[in-house]
Chains A and B, each alone.
Chain A
Amino acid sequence: MAFPHRPDAPELPDFSMLKRLARDQLIYLLEQQHEVDKLYKVENKPALSSNEQLCFLVRPRIKNMRYIASLVNADKLSGRTRKYKVIFSPQKFYACEMVLEEEGIYGDVSCDEWAFSLLPLDVDLLSMELPEFFRDYFLEGDQRWINTVAQALHLLSTLYGPFPNCYGIGRCAKMAYELWRNLEEEEDGETKSRRPEIGHIFLLDRDVDFVTALCSQVVYEGLVDDTFRIKCGSVDFGPEVTSSDKSLKVLLNAEDKVFNEIRNEHFSNVFGFLSQKARNLQAQYDRRRGMDIKQMKNFVSQELKGLKQEHRLLSLHIGACESIMKKKTKQDFQELIKTEHALLEGFNIRESTSYIEEHIDRQVSPIESLRLMCLLSITENGLIPKDYRSLKTQYLQSYGPEHLLTFSNLRRAGLLTEQAPGDTLTAVESKVSKLVTDKAAGKITDAFSSLAKRSNFRAISKKLNLIPRVDGEYDLKVPRDMAYVFSGAYVPLSCRIIEQVLERRSWQGLDEVVRLLNCSDFAFTDMTKEDKASSESLRLILVVFLGGCTFSEISALRFLGREKGYRFIFLTTAVTNSARLMEAMSEVKA
């Protein structure tokens, strides 16, 4: 199936350069600079090595510093002296040194940096592998990673030429963009003279669109992520998938031919596709029968290996599908999806609320319940006070009082809020907007939204036509728009914004939407002259998600690219999904 790209679609830049660069740096650091000969994973337990020197390769997190300090101090107590080296990736933070100092081991360790920030997970996907970005920035307001993002962008522009067109939305996007520009200015004009390879860059904050990230994913890759959790582009398939007694680590990327064809498909098509594929495979095997010796020799030497490989992958993915089916039917996945769609469309709110309540009461899953509550809150501009209290009470009864803090976090991040008393005016407002011009309505909405930061999802959805009007069944086999990634019920907001801006080459005409997103000061466009950019590069778009993006969004944009003849490249602080977002906000007992 997997729709082919248009013949004139541009070639993707070669990201293997990034990998080579990072690898060489690391090898140099470990072997030449620090003479490391054996690698261990940093875990919270005593180091086993009896070596004279310990070298830690860590993220600059305070937790890690504490761990190192405990090791060093334990060594000191037992009268042991070794050399300690800490390599921070992607950079060292002053706060980390402070902790080392406070723990009294600053003099015992020497520090180094490994400026590795871009990991190419796939031909079109770069990840910074900074899952903490989301919590640090969107909850704690900590801006430390923004500089890292700016530096990553700077690296990209030195390798792949400048970006002639820049767009962005969100406070963090704007800061990252400005820092990046400063970096470029400090450098000599060398990069500026280069021919751009990538024509557009689009920066987007995760908090511009929480809704999409909170929905259950039904595209195959997203579903695999939701079910098995993809880590760094690979997934651990347990015994229930491999139908043996061993787990198997599988790389999921464009190299996997089978996966590449189904990754962007709606789950309902995947089974059919896989069985078709299995039949084809069988047919190819069967060709052996009529062969003479020479043909057979050819077959064995050339095709058999490929077929076997494909066979192996096929059975893995079929196993994965079965496992997903089993899990999903158990919890009545259909009901869940139905509720989500109802929330997105904004009908039967009462019914959905009681569904969520039951969900909590039955202790189905703490993370899922939270997710549904957040989805309800954002789509409805906050919960009405009665529901807000009762759902929270139920949740606390089910999962313990520490989640008072979780709720406080969610509220701060704007994910789960209470409707201010004034918000009951929403209804009035929508009536008013029908009567007066858009501009006047805008003013009224402004007045309302000044009361609290609101998601305005309903209004945005209407403006951008996020809920497709469907006559009859939405044919998921032949998608017509990006809504297919959510069974035709909803076009991802983030992707729609990108589509609209690219179409207009600016934010013009989207003022209303930007205002509703509370991003009036943080939407920007920056175009330079395009004479140097080839028409091919102008159809290459780098989308930067600050705070993470989901596989559904990636699939949706890949679809958009195929439709319009673009190619999208994704740069994200980490690949995320609803569960990861919720876990980032949750407080758990240590």
Chain B
Amino acid sequence: MDCYTANWNPLGDSAFYRKYELYSMDWDLKEELRDCLVAAAPYGGPIALLRNPWRKEKAASVRPVLDIYSASGMPLASLLWKSGPVVSLGWSAEEELLCVQEDGAVLVYGLHGDFRRHFSMGNEVLQNRVLDARIFHTEFGSGVAILTGAHRFTLSANVGDLKLRRMPEVPGLQSAPSCWTALCQDRVAHILLAVGPDLYLLDHAACSAVTPPGLAPGVSSFLQMAVSFTYRHLALFTDTGYIWMGTASLKEKLCEFTCNIRAPPKQMVWCSRPRSKERAVVVAWERRLMVVGDAPESIQFVLDEDSYLVPELDGVRIFSRSTHEFLHEVPAASEEIFKIASMAPGALLLEAQKEYEKESQKADEYLREIQELGQLTQAVQQCIEAAGHEHQPDMQKSLLRAASFGKCFLDRFPPDSFVHMCQDLRVLNAVRDYHIGIPLTYSQYKQLTIQVLLDRLVLRRLYPLAIQICEYLRLPEVQGVSRILAHWACYKVQQKDVSDEDVARAINQKLGDTPGVSYSDIAARAYGCGRTELAIKLLEYEPRSGEQVPLLLKMKRSKLALSKAIESGDTDLVFTVLLHLKNELNRGDFFMTLRNQPMALSLYRQFCKHQELETLKDLYNQDDNHQELGSFHIRASYAAEERIEGRVAALQTAADAFYKAKNEFAAKATEDQMRLLRLQRRLEDELGGQFLDLSLHDTVTTLILGSHNKRAEQLARDFRIPDKRLWWLKLTALADLEDWEELEKFSKSKKSPIGYLPFVEICMKQHNKYEAKKYASRVGPEQKVKALLLVGDVAQAADVAIEHRNEAELSLVLSHCTGATDGATADKIQRARAQAQKK
């Protein structure tokens, strides 16, 4: 136990700091770190080194090399730097390397040295050159702050959504500030700079001088400043060796320290963790490392080699040519358990478990002791928590074993925390492995979340490990395995040395029909790499034809897109493609395409019918569809045209079209209508009243009702109205007029082509029995019975029916015999029936 705390260093009374090795580096550096521009990403991220920087004024002919390593020193990429001089390097939150050039251009590289994009920090920067630059992290992403040769600052709070902001001028600033930093407070980025004994805070509106409260007197210059990981704290190093530590708002002092070294430190970073007991700053010089906090003494380490500090959420990483170490405040749970002579429940439990393994009865004593204090639950929790903070798997195991041992004596201890800790540690140990090289601590991992960790593994192309983790943690396929496979596939399509067929096949073999994998996304990536053919091949694996369409359109395979859209059965999609095609092709080709796709054609027609009548006409014209053209003009003749001339003209066009369509009937009918229209117009002029738009039948009826019999006759002749119709028409009209005289005259004009039964019916409808009877006598023998019944002459109807010896007629009459009045008739019929049956 004693040896375990050997690397613990107390700072003041309350806290211990320990430093342990993460990796021994074998990255075989040719240069000293001090000769390189260095950038290391937080959360155990990669390290970028740009050797041979320009400031060392070596022979300009040698091109510098940009190397990217994992945190364990495994080379990830190496490339010759061919662009301009670089002032500063930094990693974005997405683990993209931002290289700020002297001319203000920022080049963005991927983890594997692949060039992504570049952007410029503006003209002002270009003109005045970059003196210094910082890359910082905000809630929105990653920002870049630049100090130009004109001693002005320009910054962008988020390089993903580039908005440049030029900060106000610092009055009287003639030379570069002795030190400066970007601060992020209340979602706004500021610049804090030190000029001689003065501090200035720049926000986007103004420059204000600030004074840290309780600053010791005699400071003539600030040499170094450091902001904590969360932007909450600020530390200032002055030329008197005095260190001021306080809140970043400069409203409160936390503590101060005066060290005996006055030389400007190489680096100064905060070393604290969430809910830290102690707030401490790590200051590094060439050969010395010092941890200072609210204590009279500091912790000092000797540095054997040139080292570089990387601030983390809960500590500081320190790497050099040969080692990579982690320095942090010992977490509370570990401290409780491992502190010398600790009687904390966790410590006792750990002890008990060890004794138990030794089969010693002391185990029982320890356990009893914890139980008597009622602290077993707490003990188990402590052990679990402490396990999370251990780097060595052996130590993790023994703590977990203790927790598991303690759990046995608890009735209702929820298993989640234990299970999750085991899972998390397994994941952490896997990614901390030398080959993977992501030295995350438990706190960092929780802050980062598993999703982001998976993303980072994917970014490092560690697909198998990512998938194993997903499977191990049983993440839903759509979020986990499928997503990773899709990323893998997207990477796969970029392998230009493999043929399209092989790539497509390999991808399909791996992915199959894994739910949640979108082949169209992968195809889009392939297209993005300029592999159109591969994209089309991949799209064929896409089961939802609807998903294929947008990409096909983008690849200008509109016709293929159209047939896929039709296949999908989604009319909206078809419509989208149609509008695309309409803009892309000339009208003729567009119509030709439509012609081969009846479904699309009818869809487009429907739309045109409501919105673009002219296009509809063109469509029909293109197809020589004279029948539809005719119909189109007919519709126009009553829907679109107002004036009679226009209407007739439309009808004429329609008639011509019908002739072309060899539809003589429609053509003739249309011509008749033209005649009728003209005639109706004349009738309106001459007779007044409303004639336009009546049907032929109604026109004649209106004439008769207006007693223009001559005209009616004329019209009937002109339009060859058949006799039957004319008779029906006249009959109805005259009865409506109750012009019984004229009706009688009409009935006698010649033999009725519709018989006389209708006359009877119509008179009865007008309740004129007298007139009806007149015609009943003239009804032909077959309908005589019906006619007589209509006028209510049951007796005579019976006589006729008997005379006809017609069974059906007899029953009909019989059904009309009602009440006493027809009693005699009914008897008569019955008798006749009986007689007929006898025969």
Contact = CB atoms under 8 A, between A and B. Distances in A.
B635 A587 contact: yes
A379 to B, nearest CB: 22
Interface stretch (B599-607, B791-799, B831-839): B599-607
B474 interface: no
A401 B570 contact: no
By CB atoms of chain A within 10 A, which of B605, B665, B721 has the most? B665
A95 B570 contact: no
A141 B634 contact: no
By CB atoms of chain A within 10 A, which of B515, B569, B610 has the most? B569
A363 B607 CA distance: 35
Interface stretch (B121-129, B495-503, B692-700): B692-700
Interface residues of A, number: 47
A361 B725 contact: yes
B571 A404 contact: no
Contact of B543 (A185, A188, A361): A185
A182 B611 contact: no
A408 B695 contact: no
Nearest to B571: A144
Interface of A: 62-63, 66, 93-95, 98-99, 102, 136, 140-144, 146-147, 150, 175, 178-179, 182, 185-186, 188, 357-358, 361-363, 389, 392-394, 396-402, 404-405, 408, 587, 589-590
29 contacts: A62-B610, A94-B572, A98-B575, A98-B579, A99-B610, A140-B602, A141-B602, A142-B602, A143-B571, A144-B571, A144-B603, A147-B570, A175-B569, A182-B543, A182-B569, A186-B544, A358-B728, A393-B665, A396-B669, A397-B697, A398-B695, A401-B669, A401-B695, A402-B638, A404-B666, A408-B631, A408-B666, A589-B693, A590-B639
B638 to A, nearest CB: 6
B599 A401 contact: no
A402 B728 CA distance: 23
A401 B634 contact: yes
B122 to A, nearest CB: 34
A152 to B, nearest CB: 14
Given A188-B515, A361-B728, A143 B599 contact: yes
Contacts of A102: 611
A363 B731 CA distance: 13
Given A396-B695, A398-B695, A400-B693, A93 B569 contact: no
B32 to A, nearest CB: 58
A141 B721 CA distance: 37
Contact of B572 (A93, A150, A363): A93
Contact of A146 (B569, B607, B635, B693): B569
Interface string B552-583: 00000000000000000111100110010000
Contact of B695 (A146, A179, A397): A397
A182 B607 CA distance: 27
Given A93-B571, A93-B575, 10 more contacts: A147-B569, A182-B544, A392-B669, A397-B696, A397-B725, A401-B672, A401-B676, A405-B634, A408-B627, A408-B666
Interface in B661-718: 665-666, 669-670, 672-673, 676, 693-697
Contacts of B213: none
A503 B587 CA distance: 54
User: Chain B, interface size: which category?
Assistant: 35 or more
A361 B544 CA distance: 56
Interface string B607-636: 100110000000000000001000100110
Contacts of B728: 358, 361-362
Contacts of B602: 140-143
A392 B571 contact: no
B807 to A, nearest CB: 15
A389 B663 CA distance: 11
B163 interface: no
A149 to B, nearest CB: 10
Task: Say whether chain B's binding surface is mostly helix, strand, loop, or mixed.
Answer: helix
B719 interface: yes
Given A143-B569, A397-B725, A589 B638 contact: yes
Contacts of A393: 665, 669
B696 A94 contact: no
Contacts, number: 119
Contacts of A99: 610-611
By CB atoms of chain A within 10 A, which of B572, B579, B722 has the most? B572
A67 B695 CA distance: 31
Nearest to B599: A143
B160 interface: no
B695 A142 contact: no
Interface of B: 515, 543-544, 569-572, 575-576, 579, 598-599, 602-603, 605-607, 610-611, 627, 631, 634-635, 638-639, 665-666, 669-670, 672-673, 676, 693-697, 719, 721-722, 724-725, 728-729, 732, 754
Nearest to B607: A95
Closest 3 CB pairs of A and B: A141-B602, A144-B571, A401-B673
Nearest to B546: A182
B634 A404 contact: yes
Nearest to B696: A397
Nearest to B754: A358
Contacts of B693: 400, 589
Nearest to A188: B515
Nearest to A401: B673
Given A94-B576, A95-B575, A358-B724, A405 B603 contact: no
Contact of B631 (A357, A358, A405): A405
Given A62-B610, A142-B571, A389 B665 contact: yes
A404 B543 contact: no
A193 B639 CA distance: 56
A391 to B, nearest CB: 11
Contact of B569 (A141, A179, A404): A179
B697 A398 contact: yes
Nearest to A148: B571
A579 to B, nearest CB: 20
Contacts of A175: 569
A14 B610 CA distance: 41
A522 B709 CA distance: 59
Contacts of B696: 396-398
A405 B572 contact: no
A142 B603 contact: yes
Contacts of B729: 361
Contacts of A362: 728, 732
By CB atoms of chain B within 10 A, which of A94, A146, A358, A589 has the most? A94
A84 B746 CA distance: 65
A519 B610 CA distance: 32
A400 B695 contact: yes
A36 to B, nearest CB: 26
Nearest to A405: B631
Contact of A141 (B598, B638, B719): B598
Contact of B575 (A94, A182, A399): A94
Contacts of B543: 182, 185-186
Contacts of B544: 182, 186
A362 B672 CA distance: 21
Contacts of A363: 697
Contacts of A142: 571, 602-603, 606
A63 B603 CA distance: 16
A25 to B, nearest CB: 21
B135 to A, nearest CB: 40
Contact of B725 (A98, A394, A587): A394
Contacts of B634: 401-402, 404-405
Contacts of A394: 722, 725
Contacts of A398: 695-697
Contacts of B724: 357-358, 361
Contacts of A94: 571-572, 575-576
B665 A397 contact: no
A405 B609 CA distance: 14
Given A141-B602, A142-B603, A400-B695, A392 B569 contact: no
